[in-house]
Amino acid sequence: MLYWLLILIIPVAASLNVNMTYGKYSRISNARGWTADQVARRILDSNGLSNIRIERISGNLTDHFDPTANVIRLSDSVYGKTSVAAIGVAAHECGHAVQHAENYSPIVIRSKLVPITNFCSNASYILIVLGMILSFNTLLINIGIILFLAVVAFQLVTLPVEFNASGRALKTLKNEYILEADEVSKAAKVLRAAALTYVASFLTTVIQLLRLIGISRRSD
């Protein structure tokens, strides 16, 4: 029961935290009147990435960089907004674009892990359920756990990718005088809250792994 409570509570708490933090600082406009998409364009151009487009996408905090299409998509809650929160998010996505341009090792590894993780995630649960149906077949369950390690590895390598993108964003916002010093600190709180959602995902995945190991041991 404790496993399931943690799996439910941790991501929900992280999600509530990021939404509350973003909501708080989305009401504070930056002193220079920049919009998030203008800031993104400026950061991209200054890094020689004028080929990357910026588009608007529906939703709330659905922002992402799509390296296959060379486009940064900013959500309705970010695109065209002048808040320090929106600018922080836009700068973070630019950080991902720069990571790809520089072949930043963790993001290269993560990209290569995507198809492997998708396969292993689905296959692991199939094998574990099948193992449980077949009178707790330890071999099938253990193979499923080994495959699930790919999911853990993906979540783990995601952490430096996200923290690095946020670090790049805040450094740029400060060094290029896009935001005032106190505004940078507010944007940092938004990005820190967003980063914690990835920490929560990692912890949840580890808890799931421990749960699966527990099932395997009971089947011995």
DSSP string across the chain: -HHHHHHHHHHHHHHHHHHHHHHHHTT-B-TT---HHHHHHHHHHHTT-TT-EEEEESSSS--EEETTTTEEEEETTTTT--BHHHHHHHHHHHHHHHHHHTT-HHHHHHHHHHHHHHHHHHHHHHHHHHHHHTT--HHHHHHHHHHHHHHHHHHHHHHHHHHHHHHHHHHHHHHTTSS-HHHHHHHHHHHHHHHHHHHHHHHHHHHHHHHHHHHHHHH-
Please check the confidence at residue 136 and state whether its pLDDT lies above 90: no
- Specify the higher pLDDT residue, 140 or 84: 84
Residue 208 CA to residue 68 CA, distance in Å, equals 31
Say what the pLDDT of residue 1 is: 67
Say what the pLDDT of residue 179 is: 97
Q: pTM for this structure?
A: 0.91
Say what the pLDDT of residue 77 is: 95
Per-residue model confidence as pLDDT tens digits over 17-47: 999 999 999 999 999 999 999 999 999 999 9
Encoded tokens for 43: 């950061």
DSSP per residue, 7-62:
HHHHHHHHHHHHHHHHHHHTT-B-TT---HHHHHHHHHHHTT-TT-EEEEESSSS-
Say what the pLDDT of residue 215 is: 79
Residue 82 CA to residue 62 CA, distance in Å, equals 17
Residues 28, 73 contacting (CB under 8 angstroms):
no
Say what the pLDDT of residue 61 is: 92
Residue of 93, 102, 176, 183 with catalytic role: 93
Per-residue model confidence as pLDDT tens digits over 141-188: 899 999 999 999 999 999 999 999 999 999 999 999 999 999 999 999
Say what the pLDDT of residue 137 is: 73
Burial label, 181 (beta-carbon count in 10 A; 0-12, 13-18, 19+): exposed
Residue 145 CA to residue 141 CA, distance in Å, equals 6
Is residue 183 part of the annotated active site? The answer reads: no
Q: pLDDT grade, residue 4 (50/70/90)?
A: confident
